[in-house]
Amino acid sequence: MAPLDDTQGIWKSGRGKGRKTPKGRQVEAPALREVRALLADEMPLRRDRLIEYLHVIQDARGHISAAHLAALADLMRLAQAEVYEVATFYAHFDVVKEGETPPPALTIRVCDSLSCELAGAQQLKAALEEGLDPAEVRVLRAPCMGRCDTAPVLEIGHNHIDRATPEKVSAAIAAGDTHAHVPAYQNYDAYVAGGGYEALRSLRDGARTPEEVQDAVLAAGLRGMGGAGFPSGRKWSFVRAEAGPRYLAVNGDEGEPGTFKDRWFLELEPHTFLEGMLVAAWAVEAETVFLYMRDEYPAVLHILRTEIAALEAAGIVAPGYIDLRRGAGAYICGEESAMIESIEGKRGIPRHRPPYVAQVGIFDRPTLVHNIETLHWICRIVREGPQVFSDHGTNGRTGLRSYSVSGRVKEPGVKMLPAGSTIRDLIEASGGMLDGHDFYAYQPGGPSSGLLPASMDDIPLDFDTLQPHGSFIGSAAVVVLGHTDRARDAALNMLRFFEDESCGQCTPCRVGCGKAVKLMERETWDTDLLTDLCETMVDASICGLGQAAPNPILLTMKHFGDEIGGGGAEPPKAGYGTKA
């Protein structure tokens, strides 16, 4: 028998070469030690916090290497493929494979959504690419950052530069100014001094029952301000009817281009929202509150971390009761079931429904979902009575709406006006049209709502009023176009966004958005083919993204036929504009 070879550890006469390790990618000891050190405060690791752990590695190293992905998978006892598919789903994780060069230490993301596009985002991006060393600074396009009122906008590191210019960028780089700037806001002490959390305490002490509070919310006429418009209080009884444990999920993923109202609330008075959130959690006896906030709002994330810590220190909530989760750059996670998947540490893939999240939500438990503005109003209704909301409205509508207005107006920003205000009211509240621009068209509720011509300027902008015209209010993200703009260019901008942000789960959306972009890039649109494509997307897409993505195409064909080389085309009648 041949002697052992001490180097190889096999019998030299053996037929195989033998191996020292199991098959597959190996876990490297240095990477394992580094990841374990980075996550020392998180031990023991939880499957649902995978995205949070990926953020820790990304923040520390500026990218996530294959070795670190393998180490994280080993520590979490997950398949490496599972960790990889989550990391590569989200735009804010830079996954670097073996042999690839990591990105530069500094990244600039230039917003190219509609408002920034109108303000010269493409020219800004080109100037930065020409003037900066790509080995030192990476320049990327990025979807809406929720700062449309100060377009064009870019993010350098985590510092947002409003009304950006190459000169402002150079100054920020020279000063090392790459961190979020936290605005002045009403903190816990100031809020409590004005009577904050007294309403919550009274409810916890038994002053009113959940049913009585729900009736007050319904009497106010409050509907979900995230876009769906479902009566807010009615959700509570659905969730309470299910056996516990129950959860509350707060949708802070304000990713619809043109929308920035939630950021406005949170950067001014976050505790009005936080108290409303805790009222809703009390109403359904939520075991935990999961607060999902988009990563594009670093200043808001800082505010929330600070003020949640203040609530814990004051004994208003137990430590860990509010579980703040950080998104990672995925528009689809604004869809409630995709958000729940992300909270569970997975790819943000929308679920098939039924079952609905009120019955089967986070960890398959009943889950109440609200957005930021809705919870702001719940607090005020509980504190001040239903009339604080219901006493407002115009054109037969009820309540107040926070319209995010941007584009060709003199004073863009959040305009809180009576529900049912028209585009003319919003333009007037925004200081009128910019000098040199005549009103031409408008987006009434984000890209999903499409475009309407200036001639349709008397429609009340609220729930249910726009559907007869093939549109809807959505998140009330209003972008105003002037006579020098083309509707077809705006529509193409919207479809490129949808193409980029489609999760790819269903073929009608994944393929449909890409095909639509190619057809819309032609000088003359094939309206028959586009109409067929839109009908398929509306009828067969799983979630609201694919169902509503055709709206910009169909409304442009209907109202701006002279721009596309053909006549107007009637939109599909069944289900059009209603599924999102």
| pLDDT digit string, tens, across residues 466-522 | 999 999 999 999 999 999 999 999 999 999 999 999 999 999 999 999 999 999 999
H/E stretch holding 512 reads: helix 507-520
20-46 average pLDDT score? 92
Q: What percent of the chain has pLDDT over 90?
A: 90
pLDDT value, residue 428: 98
Q: What percent of the chain has pLDDT over 70?
A: 94
At 370, is the pLDDT very low, low, confident or very high (cuts 50, 70, 90)?
Answer: very high
pLDDT value, residue 567: 46
The distance in angstroms from the start CA to the end CA of the chain is 74
Enumerate residues 6+ apart whose C-beta is below 8 A from 102: 62, 63, 65, 94, 96
- Total Cβ atoms within 10 A of residue 312: 15
Considering only residues 569 and 494, tell me which one the structure prediction assigns the higher pLDDT: 494
Q: What is the DSSP string of 144-206?
A: --S-GGG-S-EEETTEEETT--HHHHHHHHHHT--SPPPPP---HHHHHHTTTTHHHHHHHTT
424 Cα distance to chain centroid: 28
pLDDT value, residue 24: 81
107-119 average pLDDT score? 97
At 271, is the pLDDT very low, low, confident or very high (cuts 50, 70, 90)?
Answer: very high
Considering only residues 11 and 495, tell me which one the structure prediction assigns the higher pLDDT: 495
User: CB–CB of 264/225 below 8 Å?
Assistant: no
CA separation for the pair 475, 228 (Å, rounded): 8
H/E stretch holding 30 reads: helix 29-38
pLDDT value, residue 116: 97
Whether 48 has a pLDDT exceeding 70, the answer reads yes
- Total Cβ atoms within 10 A of residue 496: 22
**SS3 track for 472-487:** CCCCCEEEEEECCCCH
Residue with tokens 């990926």: 54
Enumerate residues 6+ apart whose C-beta is below 8 A from 325: 51, 52, 290, 291, 292, 293, 342, 343
Q: Which residues, in sequence order, are bridge partners of residue 323?
A: 290
pLDDT value, residue 579: 29
pLDDT value, residue 580: 28
pLDDT value, residue 467: 94
Q: Which residues, in sequence order, are bridge partners of residue 416?
A: 402
Amino acid identity of 30? P
366-389 average pLDDT score? 97
At 23, is the pLDDT very low, low, confident or very high (cuts 50, 70, 90)?
Answer: confident
Task: Identify which of 569, 509, 570 has the alpha carbon closest to the alpha carbon of residue 539.
Answer: 509
543-569 average pLDDT score? 88
377 Cα distance to chain centroid: 20
Whether 566 has a pLDDT exceeding 70, the answer reads no
Tokens matching residue 502: 């489609």
pLDDT value, residue 577: 33
Query: Could you tell me the CA-to-CA distances from 88 to 65, 297, 488, 498, 503 in Å, in that order?
Result: 12, 21, 32, 18, 12
pLDDT value, residue 38: 97
User: CB–CB of 252/262 below 8 Å?
Assistant: yes
- Total Cβ atoms within 10 A of residue 36: 15
| pLDDT digit string, tens, across residues 221-237 | 999 888 777 888 889 99
| pLDDT digit string, tens, across residues 411-423 | 999 999 999 999 9
CA separation for the pair 497, 161 (Å, rounded): 22
Whether 204 has a pLDDT exceeding 70, the answer reads yes
28-52 average pLDDT score? 96
User: CB–CB of 533/515 below 8 Å?
Assistant: yes
Enumerate residues 6+ apart whose C-beta is below 8 A from 555: 450, 451, 452, 470, 471, 491, 571
CA separation for the pair 38, 33 (Å, rounded): 9
Q: Is 523 exposed, middle or buried (0-12, 13-18, 19+ CB in 10 A)?
A: exposed
pLDDT value, residue 300: 98
CA separation for the pair 145, 178 (Å, rounded): 16
What is the rounded average pLDDT for all residues in the chain? 93
At 568, is the pLDDT very low, low, confident or very high (cuts 50, 70, 90)?
Answer: very low
pLDDT value, residue 21: 80
436-448 average pLDDT score? 96
pLDDT value, residue 8: 52
pLDDT value, residue 575: 31
